[in-house]
Amino acid sequence: SAYTDSSGYTYLFSEEEYVRQSKESDYIDEGYPKTIALYWKNEPGNEQLPKPFQESIDAAFVGHDGKTYLFKNDQFVSSEDLTKAESILAKWGRTQNNLKTTGKVDSAYIHGSQIMIFCGDQIFSFKDCLENDEVMPSEGFPKLIKEHFNNLPAEFHQDIDAAFKDNNQVVYLFKDKKYITIDSSNSQITPHEIKEHWGKTLNPLTDGSVDAALVGLDGKTYLFSGNQYFRYSSDDYSEVDAGYPRTIASDWGGLEQVNAAFVLDGKTYLFDNSTSNSYIRYSTNDYKEQDQDYPRAVENNWWNLPALRKFDCLLILGFRGLVVLGLVVLHFFCGNLQLVTTATQTTTLIVCCSF
């Protein structure tokens, strides 16, 4: 080891001997090298040192704080008080560890066999199972986020809200209302608005097309468009229910689309005229399970109608002026044709499905 003390003397140690060089001298002082065990304690100021430090030292340096530090076994002394030996462990080797300090994780993602964890302005890497009691960060971690990723915008230097790595090995970092992508080249990184890319859902109503509509026996309103449907529980129709739109095929007995829907005699009917030309019936008001042996083909003599494969709209009327002998008049529309039939119904009912 070697160091320069506050008086300007430079000491170099090698095994059992040491040399001294005075300030502004190009040569070691006369009478050196000397044996550490015999002479080191006699150097200026060393008489104050604890006994182990008078016999030899393991390492030494002058710090940026202007103090001289000497190390011996598991202790050290400083020029601030050469008589006081302190534990090396109590002062040296401590690292900033946000996980230990805060006890929280901001976000994490998987990188090969490593688990990368963000906390404050630091990133950690763990290769061992996090559930192990003695789990330790990988060598070289924690490190500052800005040092781990090159060209990182300043706003992403700390407090990462969310992160993931996709199948193309691109890392996505989210912070407040923005996100960035980082590929293997760590090229120029530009933040983008989250709302410009994320959270978009397939919504056929953006084209203004409704194929069928229904007020169900459960009191909720259903709108069908393309291969999706929307549900409203409120009377003002200001917002669809949470979790909607949903795919028709997953909830309505396998129908791919719904082109007509109505409630009659306590039963609900839905028709798919676009793909399967079939219909389905529900006798319960929760719509969890269709009636047995449904769906059925529309052309299977449905209500003794002519053999039409499709109809565009169904209008059920049962109010004064259109009730004939207590029967409900049903109007089916197919292109430029209109079919009229009747069904037993004593209750006034209006259901209209337009497509």
Write out the CATH class of domain 98-196.
mainly beta
102: tokens are: 């805060």
Residue 40 contacts residue 54 (beta carbons within 8 Å):
yes
| DSSP string across 73-128 | TTEEEETTEEEEEEEHHHHTT----HHHHH----EEEEETTEEEEEETTEEEEE-S
The domain limits of the chain are 2-91, 98-196, 204-353
The full length of the chain comes to 355
Provide mean pLDDT across the span 129-133: 66
Average pLDDT on 183-191 reads 78
Quote the mean pLDDT of the chain: 81
The count of other CB atoms within 10 Å of the CB of residue 257 is 22
Name the pLDDT band for 131 (thresholds 50, 70, 90): low
Per-residue pLDDT for 207 more than 50?
yes
Helix (H, G, I), strand (E, B) or coil at 194: helix
pLDDT value of residue 317: 42
Domain 204-353 carries which CATH code? Answer: 2.110.10.10
Same fold, 98-196 and 204-353: yes
Q: What SS3 class is residue 173?
A: strand
The stretch 247-254 carries a mean pLDDT of 91
Topology (CATH level 3) of domain 2-91: Hemopexin (2.110.10)
| pLDDT score for 22 | 92
Place of tokens 């996980």: 99
Q: pLDDT at residue 145 above 90?
A: yes
pTM above 0.75?
no
Give the residue-averaged pLDDT of 21-30.
91
More confident residue, 318 or 24: 24
pLDDT at position 55 is: 82
Q: pLDDT band at 215, cuts 50/70/90? A: very high
C-beta of residue 294 within 8 angstroms of C-beta of residue 253: yes
Phi, psi for residue 170 in degrees, rounded to 5: -100, 130
Provide the pLDDT for residue 3. 83
38 pLDDT above the threshold of 60:
yes
Two structure tokens written together for 146: 């800005």
Check if the beta carbon of residue 170 is closer than 8 Å to that of residue 182. yes
Top mean-pLDDT range of 151-155, 317-321, 336-340: 151-155
Phi, psi of 145 (to 5 degrees): -60, -40
For residue 164, pLDDT beyond 80: yes
Say which amino acid occupies 278.
Answer: S
